[in-house]
């Protein structure tokens, strides 16, 4: 009985935080389709893959597993679990899941028009690929990368990377790894292990070509990869200060640059309208 009561309380809390109710319609936003599994983790069996744009019904349960929040959903396939990053509540679907050059520069005033034009397609493509497709997710993501990259002006860490030499926790096990795998991209991934993992996830050999992480076509994708691996969309979905602060702490390890991050977030919400 206690377990049942706790489960109900958890579900009600989730509904209050995320605005989801049992039976709500969700729309698949993953461009290449969304895998449905028979449990809340990528280790569970694959049931089917839902095409982009398909509607499913929320089953009233949320669970954490394998770095994601999973929703129980139902459809013609029966019922199963999907990663929450890749579905949108239907009532939010009218939001334009892309950012314009004008909006990007309004959020990041130190970004030149030339760079905005160069980056915009890669940025929007990466966000769409990774399910950063609602106003709340986009504003949080844009604010964080704005701070981390100086309004998208720094895609390579200024320091040499020598401080990371011998950092086995980063996978730096060979001489020169610290410099070779220093921070790159809008959210600067660091260390051989992270370059390897990001490259495997994106289908790019970053371990042998680490400077590619500083190129915009790959850099924005590594930032989204990091965002999703840390499960940040579930906190961004709150669209409140507590959720955004959690994103900050998971990216930074603390609250360094909090004022600048917060200011970018407030500006982004004003520009994008959420």
Tell me, what CATH number does 245's domain have? Answer: 1.10.530.10
17 pLDDT exceeds 50? no
pLDDT average, residue stretch 176-193: 95
Of 68, 89, 110, the last residue of a domain is: 89
Does any domain span residue 255?
A: yes
Closest alpha carbon to 19 in 62, 76, 67, 77: 62
pLDDT band at 28 (very low <50, low <70, confident <90, very high): confident
For the chain, what is the domain count? Answer: 2
* DSSP H helical ranges for 92-215: 101-107, 113-129, 135-149, 177-180, 192-202
Q: Which of 148, 157, 165, 259 is catalytic?
A: 148
Q: Is 148 a catalytic residue?
A: yes
Task: Say whether both 152 and 213 belong to one domain.
Answer: yes
Task: Say whether both 43 and 162 belong to one domain.
Answer: no
Task: Say whether both 152 and 223 belong to one domain.
Answer: yes
The 10s digit of each residue's pLDDT in 151-172 is 999 999 999 999 999 999 999 9
Instruction: Provide the percentage of residues in the chain whose pLDDT is more than 70.
Output: 89
The 10s digit of each residue's pLDDT in 214-241 is 999 999 999 999 999 999 999 999 999 9
79 pLDDT exceeds 90? yes
**pLDDT of the residue at 97:** 67
**pLDDT of the residue at 117:** 92
* DSSP H helical ranges for the chain: 2-18, 101-107, 113-129, 135-149, 177-180, 192-202, 216-229, 233-236, 241-252, 258-272
**pLDDT of the residue at 94:** 45
**pLDDT of the residue at 16:** 37
Task: Say whether both 152 and 75 belong to one domain.
Answer: no
SS3 25: strand
The 10s digit of each residue's pLDDT in 50-69 is 988 888 998 888 888 887 78
The mean pLDDT of the chain is: 88
The 10s digit of each residue's pLDDT in 82-94 is 988 788 776 554 4
What global pTM score does this model have?
0.68
Residues in contact with 84: Cβ distance below 8 Å, sequence separation at least 6, in sequence order: 62, 68, 69, 70, 71, 233, 234, 237
């Amino acid at each position: 009985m206690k377990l049942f009561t706790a489960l109900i309380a958890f579900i009600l809390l989730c509904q209050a935080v995320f605005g989801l109710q049992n039976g709500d319609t969700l729309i698949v936003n993953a461009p290449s389709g969304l895998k449905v599994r028979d449990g809340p983790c990528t280790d569970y069996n694959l049931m089917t893959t839902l095409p982009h744009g398909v509607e499913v019904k929320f089953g009233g349960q949320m669970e954490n597993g394998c770095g994601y929040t999973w929703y129980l959903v139902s459809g013609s396939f029966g019922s199963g679990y999907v990663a929450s990053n890749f579905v949108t509540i239907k009532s939010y679907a009218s939001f334009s899941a892309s950012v314009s050059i004008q909006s990007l520069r309004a959020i990041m005033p130190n970004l030149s028009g030339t760079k905005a034009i160069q980056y915009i397609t890669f940025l929007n493509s990466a966000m769409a690929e990774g399910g950063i497709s609602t106003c709340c997710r986009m504003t949080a993501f844009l604010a964080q990368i704005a701070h981390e990259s100086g309004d998208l002006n720094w895609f390579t860490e200024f320091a040499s990377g020598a401080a990371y030499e011998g950092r086995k926790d980063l996978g730096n096990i060979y001489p020169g790894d610290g410099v070779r795998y220093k921070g790159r991209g809008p959210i600067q991934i660091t260390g051989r292990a992270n370059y390897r993992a990001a490259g495997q996830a994106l289908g790019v050999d970053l371990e042998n070509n680490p400077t590619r992480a500083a190129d915009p076509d790959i850099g924005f994708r590594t930032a989204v990869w990091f965002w999703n691996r840390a499960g940040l969309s579930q906190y961004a979905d709150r669209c409140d200060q507590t959720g955004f602060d959690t994103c900050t702490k998971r990216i930074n390890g603390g609250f360094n640059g909090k004022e600048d991050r917060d200011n970018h977030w407030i500006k982004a919400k004003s520009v994008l309208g959420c």
